[in-house]
Structure formats: structure tokens, C-alpha cells
A and B are shown apart, each in its own frame.
Chain A
Amino acid sequence: MAQVSFEGVTKRFGDTVAVDALNLEIPDGELLVLLGSSGCGKTTALRLLAGLEEVSEGTIAIGGRVVNDVDPKDRDVAMVFQSYALYPHLSVARNIEFPLRQRGMAKDVRAAKVKEAATTLGLDTLLNRKPSQLSGGQRQRVALARAIVREPQVFLMDEPLSNLDAALRVQTRADIVALQDRLSTTTLYVTHDQVEAMTMGDRIAVMSQGILQQVATPEDLYAHPANTFVAGFLGSPGMNLLPGTVTQGSGGEALVEVAGGVVPFPSTLRASSLGDAGAVILGVRPESLSLDPDGPLHADVTIVELLGAETHVICRTPDGSRLIVRQSARAAKPAPNDQVRIAVDPDPAAMHLFDATTTQRLTAP
């Protein structure tokens, strides 16, 4: 049993609050991705769990045991660093063996475990090499082998794929998911890459400025972002966010008036939650927009990006807001400076409303 829990955990560096009252539960065997932009406190949260930083307030527990004052070596966690942190003067075999040696394991047991870990990660032929003789992907696998060989209660991974090239990253993230699935070890995985988070995590915890914004499954997070930060951060590109106001249509239907047009809103609004004068932020994913001569919105095209299978048409609304339309690469492409009209998917799930003041979600999840 290795459930991890953060209860009201705060970390301050002088006057700076890096992690602010973090409450987070990671059930046994789950791969939870801590996602956020640079400086949001995600790595600090990971280091607090590893014991590399001291908690200012709150408690951290691993498997029900409070570990605030427990030395890192006694927390039974293994960590994979962004730079891999391989010991450059030791061979691959000695690197993998190092944590076992520190625990005083017998030589033959160590050798068997190193062999098993090396086989799992395809390092059999590299055991006598030094880290400097390995490629980035091989180093990454050695770091993983060093982590799994100990069979710890918790894996901690601090952006382990960020130094790999794009193709290798895709391959390795699938390998890590498969490995974690097989070992069923509770894993806290830190990344700033939302694609990595979406593809790897059982659940994703989004952080911003030291504060946990939302914890949910990737699907839920994408479909029902709790606030504009999560909405804009998740998705590639993120959700379009247009400031506007809610008004009543002649038939009693809710209309959202934004710069560039009026969009009928298909869902029931919680009117009591609206800010002053019905000021809202309308959120629409790029894939829920399409170029349509009869569309309710108009905007100017600034750039057209061809990404192979799809095209991103980046537009600017009359108030200067950015609006991205995702369409198939086969669809007709407008040219920069063209004026286009844009339609919104009428599916109620395609539109999201956020309070303009609090930036929190208004539409029911």
C-alpha cells in the first residue's frame, strides 16, 4: 500500500510561496501527472515528497506514514531527474546497482536484480559503458533502471523526457506508461508538456503559481476545465477564450455577445453565479470552430499554420483577442488578412462559460 497524500502542504522560500496549501491524494498504483508551466511549484511539490526540501506547513504521507521528518533515503522513493543525474564515473551496471549497494544487499542478489532491470529496459549490452558513452535515450533508460531496481513504493519523475528529441519522446512515454502499468507502482510525474500529461496520466493535477487548479482524468480535464487557466493550458492549441457578456435573446435563449459577433449559448446558465453585468469569458476549443460564411463570428486571419493532417487558422477578433480554428488540411485555406466568418459547434459540450472576475467555470460540468 503506497498511497501518497499531501495535506495542506505549503513551501516558502523566504517571502516566496512556491507551493500553497496543496491538498492531493494519489491512490496506490496510480500515475498522477503534475502539470504546470515553469515556476508553478510542481517540481517543488515533487522535491517535498522526495524529502529534498523541507515542508513549511502541512503533512506529507506515504503509505499512511507521515514522512515530513524522514530522510530521503528512508522514504522508499526513487526519482528520475530531468538531467537523469547518472553518476558519470560509474559504469551503467554500477549506476543501476548503486541504490542496492547502499542498502547492503548481497553481491549475487544485486547482480540478479541489475540483470533483470537491464533486461527490462534493453540495457543488457550497455552495462559496461560509462554514461558519457550513451545516447540521450539510453541514459534515460539507465535512470529508469536505477529507479525500478529498488522496487520502491513511489516513483518520482521530474520531466524525464524533456531532453529527448520529439520522436524518442513519443516512444519513451509509451514505454514509461507500459512499465508503470506492469509494476503498478504509485508514480508522481512532473511535466510542463500537456501532451505528455494527457497521454500518460491516469489523472492530471494542474498547478499554477503554487496553487492546485484542478485534479481530474485527462478526458474530464479537457472536457470540463475548472477555470480559464486549465482551459487555456490544456489542448494543443489551448481553448479560445473570448471576453463577452450574456444577454437574453428574443425567444428567451441565452446569447453570448463577444467582439466579432453574438453566439447563441445552448446550455442552461446558473444566472446567480454570473459576475457584474453578466461579464463572462466564452471558451471554445479550436476543433469546435469552423470557417463558415454563415457563422455568427467574424475575424481577420493573421497566420495559417499547416501541421500535416490539420491546419490552424489563427485569427484576430475586432477587440484583438486571438481565435484559433482547427480544420482539416484538405479544407480550403484562407490567406492572411482575409476576413472570415466562423461558426461554433452547436453541441452544448463545445462551449464553456467562465466568470470574467473569478475566471472559474460557470456552466455545469
Chain B
Amino acid sequence: MTVASVEMRRSPVPKETTLRARRRREAGLAYLILLPALAVFGTFTFYPFFRNFKLMLYETPPVPGLPAHYVGLHQIIPTVTSTQFTQSLVTTIVFVALVVPISLILGLALAVAAHRKLKGIAIYRMIFSSTVVSSVAVASVVFGTLLNPVVGLLPWLGINPTPPALENTTWALPAVAVITIWQFLGLSFIIMSAGLQSVPDELLEAARIDGAGAWTRFWRMTVPLLSPTIFFAVIVSTIYAFQSFGAVDILIGNQSAVRLHTNVLIYNIVNTLQVENNPGAAAIMATVLFLITLSLTVLQMRFLERRVHYA
């Protein structure tokens, strides 16, 4: 077959049509590959997300068994201005303000301490990061025991607040925050360690030769060069802290006298849904939490990205 005859056979098909058909085929294949992921996300993320907006529009009577009725947007204002919700919001903000900076500073300090070429340093790295694999239930039981007024570590150290820390209106929230900080520490350490690996040794060596001491090198070189990592860690841990639930549920519970002092948003939402049987109010609170997290993330990105130095 000659070249000319091949050209003759090809020429009736317009090039544009062939390209369009190929693109359509490729798009079809792409959607097919995406389908399993879309099914999982659709079922467990997108459907609940949109269903939540629907729930906001219905009020459930306090008596069990009666059907929910449509109230539109009327229950939003009363819910978000209720004392229960505003107190819960303040408690959550205090909780986040305790957990995020402390866990990040400690994580950074441990990462810096472990970022050296020493024999056996890998063991320390493993210990420092180990909290990331312990479940909130295990962490809560361990800390519950340590804070126990009879067999715990605190009374053994001579610290014995009355009433005990987890039943004390002043100490209950900080105690829960300590557990959460301990849990976050592993993740914070891992993120900061990964960030430190990306800081070129040559920069620190150049600064050392240029006359910078260890403290100056840390503040003037390491921290600015680590700012993308710190920025990421602040966002992730703030979102996680806003969603804390396990430690409060296990250590405090909804029967405790200090419940209102540790009533973080997620815990309040779960209680409103399950104990008070009020899905509408719970959906409104969940939406507020979503908006807070979203706006906080946007704010942090806008504010921090101006100060972030990308190497």
C-alpha cells in the first residue's frame, strides 16, 4: 500500500472530530476510574454534608416519637444565641487556645532536640512521635489514672486539688487540654521534624560562619525557613482541636458536675442530637462549627501567607 493511498483513506475523517471523540473517550475513562472514590465520598461525606442543611430546617418535638416539622430558618437565631451554645463556643475557643500553641511549641522543641546526628537518636524520635498512634481512648484512660485522686501520679507528687482535677470546675478543661496536647504532640513532632529536614544544612552552616549563635540561628534562620511547616501545622491542629470529642466524653461524661465547663462544640452537638433528641439544633451547631473552621482557615491563610517565607 502506498503512502498516497493511506492518505486517501484517512482524509474523509475530519481531524477535529477525531480529537473530540478521543477526548470524550478519555473523559469517560476518567469518570469510570473516579467512580469508586466518588461513591465513597458521596455516601459518607457529601450526602451527610448536604443532609445537614436540610436538618437545619426541621424542628423535632421534645416528646419522642413525634415527627419533625418544617420551620425554615426560624430556629437558627434562637439556637446560636442560646446560653448553652455560646458557653460551648467560649469553652471550645479556650480549649483551642490552650491546645494549639502548646502542642506546636512543644512539638517544635522536641523536633529541634531530635534533629541531630547522634547515636540512638532514632529511639527518641520514635518515642516523641509515638503518641500519634495511641488512640484517644487509651490516652484518656492513662491520663484518667494519672489524675486519679487515690491511685494517680498527681497525689503521689503531693498535688491533690479538691475536688479532683477532672471534677474541678477550674482544672477540668485544662486537664482535658493536657491530654489532647499529649495526643497532638506526636503529630506536631512529625510535622516539625519533616519541616526541619527541608531546611538546608548549608544555610545554618553559613549563618554559623557569619557569626550567628545557636539562638540567633534558630530564630533568624530555622523559624523563618520553617514557617510554611508551622503555617500548615497551625491550620491542621486548629481544625483538629475544634473537633475534639473523645477525651471529654471518656473523662468527663454528661453526668459530671463540670460538664458545662468542658462542653466543647462537638460534644455539645452530640449531646444535643442524642440526649436531647434535637437534630435540627445539632445540625445548626454543626454548620456553625463548619463555618468557623472554614473562615478560620481562610483567615489564617490570608494572614499567615504574608509572613511565610518559601525557600
Partner of B209, one of A78, A82, A103: A78
The CA-CA distance from A325 to B136 in the complex, in Å, is: 75
Partner of B211, one of A50, A73, A85, A89: A73
Contact with A along B243-256 (1 / 0, CB 8 A): 00000000000000
The CA-CA distance from A119 to B121 in the complex, in Å, is: 47
Interface size on B, residues (CB 8 A): 19
Contacts of A183 in B (CB 8 A): none
Partner of B210, one of A51, A83, A98, A132: A98
- List B165-218 residues whose CB lies under 8 Å from chain A: 200, 202-203, 205-213, 216
Asked if B216 and A83 make an inter-chain contact with CB atoms under 8 angstroms apart, the answer reads: no
A144 at interface, CB cutoff 8 A: no
A146 at interface, CB cutoff 8 A: yes
| Secondary structure of the B contact surface, majority rule | helix
Given that A83-B202, A87-B221 are known contacts, is A72 also in contact with B209, CB under 8 Å in the complex? yes
Specify the chain A residue showing the minimal Cβ separation from B213.
A73
Contacts of B205 in A (CB 8 A): 50, 52, 72, 79, 81, 85
Number of A-B contacts (CB under 8 A): 59
Greatest chain A CB density within 10 A among B202, B209, B212 is at: B209
A136 at interface, CB cutoff 8 A: no
A102 at interface, CB cutoff 8 A: yes
Partner of A102, one of B203, B212, B309, B311: B212
Asked if A85 and B203 make an inter-chain contact with CB atoms under 8 angstroms apart, the answer reads: yes
B57 at interface, CB cutoff 8 A: no
Contacts of A89 in B (CB 8 A): 224-225, 309, 311
Greatest chain A CB density within 10 A among B200, B203, B211 is at: B211
Asked if A87 and B207 make an inter-chain contact with CB atoms under 8 angstroms apart, the answer reads: yes
Contacts of A98 in B (CB 8 A): 207, 210, 212
Asked if A73 and B206 make an inter-chain contact with CB atoms under 8 angstroms apart, the answer reads: no
Min distance, Cβ A97 to any Cβ of chain B, angstroms: 10
The CA-CA distance from A132 to B309 in the complex, in Å, is: 11
The CA-CA distance from A81 to B208 in the complex, in Å, is: 13
Asked if A50 and B209 make an inter-chain contact with CB atoms under 8 angstroms apart, the answer reads: yes
Interface size on A, residues (CB 8 A): 23
Asked if A73 and B225 make an inter-chain contact with CB atoms under 8 angstroms apart, the answer reads: no
Contacts of B310 in A (CB 8 A): 88, 132
- List A119-141 residues whose CB lies under 8 Å from chain B: 132
Contacts of B212 in A (CB 8 A): 73, 98, 102
Given that A79-B206, A88-B311 are known contacts, is A103 also in contact with B225, CB under 8 Å in the complex? no
Asked if B225 and A99 make an inter-chain contact with CB atoms under 8 angstroms apart, the answer reads: no
A32 at interface, CB cutoff 8 A: no
- List A57-81 residues whose CB lies under 8 Å from chain B: 72-73, 75, 77-79, 81
Asked if A99 and B311 make an inter-chain contact with CB atoms under 8 angstroms apart, the answer reads: no
Partner of B208, one of A72, A87, A132: A72
Min distance, Cβ A165 to any Cβ of chain B, angstroms: 21
Contacts of A85 in B (CB 8 A): 200, 202-203, 205-206
Specify the chain A residue showing the minimal Cβ separation from B223.
A89
Contacts of A103 in B (CB 8 A): 211
The CA-CA distance from A174 to B149 in the complex, in Å, is: 77
Contacts of A78 in B (CB 8 A): 209-210
The CA-CA distance from A77 to B205 in the complex, in Å, is: 12
Contacts of A73 in B (CB 8 A): 208-213
Given contacts A79-B209, A132-B310, 4 further A-B contacts (CB under 8 A): A52-B209, A73-B211, A87-B207, A88-B203
By a beta-carbon cutoff of 8 Å, the part of chain A in contact with chain B is 50-52, 72-73, 75, 77-79, 81-83, 85, 87-89, 98-99, 102-103, 132, 146, 150
7 closest residue pairs by CB, A with B: A102-B211, A89-B309, A85-B206, A99-B210, A85-B202, A73-B211, A89-B224
